[in-house]
Amino acid sequence: MTFEPTRAAGLARLAEFVPRAGRPYAAERNTDRGPGDRSNVSTLSPWVRNRLVTEREVVEAVLQRHSLDAASKFVQEVYWRTYWKGWLELRPSVWAHYTAAIEPAHAALTSEDRVTYEAAIAGRTGIEGFDDWARELVELGYLHNHARMWFASIWIFTLRLPWQLGADFFLRHLLDGDPASNTLSWRWVAGLQTVGKTYLATTQNIEFATEGRFSPRGLATVAPAVDDDAPLPVPGPAPQAAAVPPGRVALLLHDDDLHAESLDLSGAEVVAVASPAATSRDGSAAPVAEFVAAALADGRERAGTHYGAEASVLDGLTASAILPWMHAHDVRQLVTPYAPVGPVRDRLDALERALAPEGVTLTRVLRPWDALAWPHATRGFFPFREQIPALLQY
Ligand SMILES: Cc1cc2nc3c(=O)[nH]c(=O)nc-3n(C[C@H](O)[C@H](O)[C@H](O)COP(=O)(O)OP(=O)(O)OC[C@H]3O[C@@H](n4cnc5c(N)ncnc54)[C@H](O)[C@@H]3O)c2cc1C
């Protein structure tokens, strides 16, 4: 299984998967047959993560072939991603709290814990399955959803390591590593997301769902919720769509959205396109950095062709990289796809502050998919799920 970082490769994977997105997916998706057979899931997440292929395209392709009834499980899974993004968007402090906890969690490891941590990330704990998933993650940058759940559960409740360090390990190695889906899934396993409800991986479940490939012994038999002194924040307001400025604009692409062709930029004249050369995901493992760099190049080239504008490579999402490029094109208005909570957002916030004194505006273009769905992420996934038929109408 390989992940080629181009939109064309993502669309090919989607086309290949669509026939299986109905009842076979619903019935078989929970089985992890190993990296040699991923035919029961889509493996689309690395492309969707960077929006080389959008959620909307994925869902539309599936619903052209299947009824919503037949494909409801798959459509709901895609909306899990949207839900997590919306949940974090309404509660950005959860991301800030997590990122601030990583270094202290490292520093607080006892020497014994440190040995366990090093063994866990190297796949040397002696726990069947867990070690295989650690190596699979590092080598392939992808894990089946259930392997992610089992790994996180064993990390927290059997190895008793801080969940933040496990989430960080995932985020650095997953090609689809996503601030919302990753952080909130780890929190969910730890019992922080649905307060008090944890996820306990059991030998029987792993044996059953891996079709006997793994039968780990000595797993924790209880999963007490992890303590966290920060209460769940009250959801804040959802972002509102900003009007795209009319006239000449420069289009800035980034890790979080690389399908500029489907952004609604009506009224604007795109005179230049650019994206950074490298990912904004600091600390990414080399395969992730390479995947995102190539995805950024793919998105930039397509956008340049689509808008008939020169496509440039920038040395980062900073004012010092962006202003000379904008001056060269004699443009004062910058537009960019909306970046949800995460490292790109942090850079755009700093960029906007640095551009303001220069008289350059930054407009973030929010997609209708997100604008409509995120306001519903105020509670759990089940009330959110009720909105899916209405969300699909727009
Ligand atoms: C501890 C843990 C960490 C995770 N970290 C990430 C992460 O960093 N990035 C990420 O994209 N997903 C993450 N997930 C969610 C999920 O495991 C992956 O999205 C899924 O396995 C991707 O494989 P697929 O494309 O074959 O999924 P499919 O089963 O084919 O699903 C189709 C699409 O739906 C979305 N999706 C499916 N399940 C979920 C889910 N539970 N949550 C959110 N979106 C989902 C993905 O975009 C996926 O591509 C995590 C789950 C756990 C338990």
Per-residue H/E/C for 85-147: HHHHHHCCHHHHHHHHHHHHHHHCCCHHHHHHHHHHHHCCCCCCCHHHHHHHHHHHCCCCHHH
- 69 CA to middle of ligand 1, Å? 21
Half-sphere exposure of 80 (CA within 13 A, CB side): 13
Please compute the mean of the pLDDT values over residues 243-260 and round it to a whole number. 97
The backbone torsions φ and ψ at residue 138, rounded to the nearest 5 degrees and listed phi first, read: -65, -40
pLDDT at position 152 is 98
Residues of the chain with CATH 1.25.40: 7-90+374-391
**Atom 19 of ligand 1: nearest residue by CA position:** 45
- 148 CA to middle of ligand 1, Å? 9
- 292 CA to middle of ligand 1, Å? 18
Asked if pLDDT for residue 147 goes beyond 90, the answer is yes
pLDDT at position 238 is 98
Does ligand 1 have an atom closer than 6 angstroms to the CB of 363?
no
Residue among 272, 328, 321, 327 nearest 300 (CA):
272
- Given ligand 1 and candidates 16, 29, 60, 77, which is best to mutate, with the most ligand atoms within 8 Å of its CB? 77
Please compute the mean of the pLDDT values over residues 229-249 and round it to a whole number. 94
C-beta of residue 62 within 8 angstroms of C-beta of residue 47: no
- 246 CA to middle of ligand 1, Å? 37
- 182 CA to middle of ligand 1, Å? 8
Does ligand 1 have an atom closer than 6 angstroms to the CB of 52?
no
**Atom 26 of ligand 1: nearest residue by CA position:** 43
Half-sphere exposure of 198 (CA within 13 A, CB side): 22
Does ligand 1 have an atom closer than 6 angstroms to the CB of 20?
no
Residue 109 region, left (φ>0) first, then alpha (ψ -120 to 50), else beta?
Answer: beta
Does ligand 1 have an atom closer than 6 angstroms to the CB of 185?
yes
Work out the pLDDT band at 1, boundaries 50, 70, 90: confident
Over residues 107-116, the pLDDT tens digits come to: 999 999 999 9
**Atom 40 of ligand 1: nearest residue by CA position:** 80
**Atom 8 of ligand 1: nearest residue by CA position:** 177
Does ligand 1 have an atom closer than 6 angstroms to the CB of 44?
yes
The highest-level CATH class for domain 95-209 is mainly alpha
C-beta of residue 370 within 8 angstroms of C-beta of residue 384: no
pLDDT at position 231 is 87
- Name the strands in the sheet holding 268-276, side by side, starting at the edge strand that comes first in the sequence: 310-314, 268-276, 247-252, 333-337, 361-365
Does ligand 1 have an atom closer than 6 angstroms to the CB of 29?
yes
Residues of the chain with CATH 3.40.50.620: 247-365
Please compute the mean of the pLDDT values over residues 199-221 and round it to a whole number. 98
Q: What's the CATH number for 7-90+374-391?
A: 1.25.40
Report the chain's mean pLDDT, rounded to a whole number.
Answer: 97
Fold of the CATH domain 247-365: Rossmann fold (3.40.50)
pLDDT at position 287 is 98
Residue among 306, 254, 249 nearest 279 (CA):
254
Ligand 1 atom with the shortest distance to the CA of 186: 1
pLDDT at position 228 is 83
Q: What percent of the chain has pLDDT over 70?
A: 100
Q: Which residues pair with 313 in a beta bridge?
A: 275
Residues of the chain with CATH 1.10.579.10: 95-209
Asked if pLDDT for residue 229 goes beyond 80, the answer is no
Q: Max alpha carbon distance in the chain (Å)?
A: 65
pLDDT at position 394 is 78
Q: How many residues does the chain have?
A: 394
